[in-house]
Chain A
Amino acid sequence: MAQQTTNKNEWPLWEVFIRSKAGLDHKHAGSLHAADAEMAIENARDVYTRRMEGVSIWVVESTNIHASDPGDAESLYDPANDKIYRHPTFYNLPDAVKYM
């Protein structure tokens, strides 16, 4: 994802998300410039799906994306760090127990 450094004459920056096939999530593919959403989708088709990489495209103007600060990573993710009981491997069961 690109940082915001807009220039008055430049077409806005859009982030492109592509669903590679039905049943899968849209995934960030990259970014591009376009005057509006319609053009962004058309450009995304040309730039990111020349080899049938997608069945659906989302475009979001980059200014509308809010991201977490990597500097906050510790305080954001630390609370999950010591909660190993959230994982199934935390629990010891006899081998005789099947399908669990």
Chain B
Amino acid sequence: MTVHSFQEHFDKKIDGDVAIEPRDWMPDDYRKTLIRQISQHAHSEIVGMLPEGNWISRAPSLRRKAVLLAKVQDEAGHGLYLYSAAETLGITRDELYEQLHSGKAKYSSIFNYPTLTWADMGAIGWLVDGAAIMNQVPLCRCSYGPYARAMVRVCKEESFHQRQGYEIMLTLANGAPMQKKMAQDALDRWWWPSLMMFGPPDAESGNTEQSMRWRIKRLTNDELRQKFIDVTVEQANILGLTIPDKDLKWNEERGHYDSGAINWDEFWNVVKGNGPCNKQRLDTRKKAWADGQWVRDAAMAHAEKRKARKATAKAA
């Protein structure tokens, strides 16, 4: 087959919703886009453990602590599913880490905000995981098989993350006035960054059109953001909390909520590395990687020694 016919075959599969698998021919840009998106997603899961890790030792009860530990452990697992999906595209795990540590690869900017109070564990579960689920559900039908399969696994596990967060918010919102205030403060701080998680508006999103064509993406940033706003407003009402957007209003004609302008300067500033915790998050990751080097080396040396011993025993 010529490159042209390879391309034709690939296009036909995409149009027919036939999944692309690792050993299939694919255009270079498709591969590159996937590596970028999947690795960014994996890095987000891994860095996403840090803001919550901050509260494990200070969880208000044993139940909350067990739940938070399980959630953080899931995030490590999700990172690993995604890294192995990215590796099927011909990049090594070490290269992926290197891209994160050098700043070449990005992760979700939301994790560059600090977790100041316990209520932030509630707001993150409810809003940040809620937004992540909104993003991830359509990715279960993504054209690249290993990514889609990883997302099915992630989505199955993620729903408890959002529910436990909402439960924390519910408990605080129905608690003492101080607790309710804490919940409102967390909502105030996490609302706008959560909306930014869906990425820049469609008009300014350079990758959207091509990714939709390749069926890597199924819905645009603005469509997903709108869906998220529509379902979350009702959930805030049940909590008796106020979403910090004075322009938020039901639009009968559109059948959607209208909402205020997002501060995209803040978004780009955080993406560029100037968020409140960018440096801290990356330094923590780099230190963990460097400090773990001797463990990785020792495990490898041990495995090799055992293999050699077994070989000698067999020969004897």
Q: Identify the A interface with B (CB < 8 A).
A: 1-3, 5-7, 9-11, 13, 30-33, 35-36, 39, 46-48, 50-51, 67, 69-71
Check if A11 sits within 8 Å of B77, measured CB to CB.
Answer: no
Residue of B nearest to A4 (CB): B90
Q: Which A residues touch B87, using CB under 8 A? A: 2-3, 5, 13, 31
Q: A9-B296, A36-B303, A51-B157 are in contact. Are A3 and B88 (CB under 8 A)?
A: yes
Residue of A nearest to B91 (CB): A5
A–B complex contacts, Cβ < 8 Å, 22 sampled: A2-B22, A3-B90, A5-B90, A5-B92, A7-B94, A9-B297, A10-B92, A11-B300, A13-B87, A30-B84, A30-B85, A30-B153, A35-B296, A35-B303, A36-B306, A36-B307, A47-B77, A50-B73, A50-B74, A50-B77, A50-B157, A71-B25
4 cross-chain pairs, A with B, having the tightest CB-CB distances, nearest first: A36-B303, A35-B299, A35-B303, A31-B84
Interface residues in B41-87 by Cβ distance below 8 A to A read 70, 73-74, 77, 80-81, 84-85, 87
A2, A33, A47 pick with most chain B CB within 10 angstroms: A2
Residue in A30, A39, A46 whose CB lies within 8 Å of B150: A30
Interface residues in B84-119 by Cβ distance below 8 A to A read 84-85, 87-95
Q: A1-B88, A39-B299, A70-B23 are in contact. Are A30 and B74 (CB under 8 A)?
A: no
Per the bound structure, the CA–CA distance linking A32 and B83 in Å amounts to 9
- Give how many A-B residue pairs fall within 8 Å (CB-CB): 75
Per the bound structure, the CA–CA distance linking A67 and B21 in Å amounts to 12
Per the bound structure, the CA–CA distance linking A51 and B153 in Å amounts to 11
Number of B interface residues at 8 Å Cβ cutoff, please give it: 35
Q: Which B residues touch A46, using CB under 8 A? A: 73, 77
Q: Which B residues touch A31, using CB under 8 A? A: 84, 87
Check if A47 sits within 8 Å of B90, measured CB to CB.
Answer: no
Asked whether any CB of chain A lies closer than 8 Å to the CB of B291, the reply is no
Interface residues in B268-316 by Cβ distance below 8 A to A read 296-297, 299-300, 302-303, 306-307
Please encode chain B, from 145 to 168, with 1 for each CB lying within 8 Å of some chain A CB and 0 for all others.
000011001000100000000000
Check if A7 sits within 8 Å of B77, measured CB to CB.
Answer: no
Check if A10 sits within 8 Å of B22, measured CB to CB.
Answer: no
Residue of B nearest to A10 (CB): B94
Residue of A nearest to B306 (CB): A36
Q: Which B residues touch A2, using CB under 8 A? A: 22, 84, 87-88
Q: Which B residues touch A51, using CB under 8 A? A: 157
Asked whether any CB of chain A lies closer than 8 Å to the CB of B247, the reply is no
The smallest C-beta distance from A88 to any residue of chain B, in angstroms, reads 27
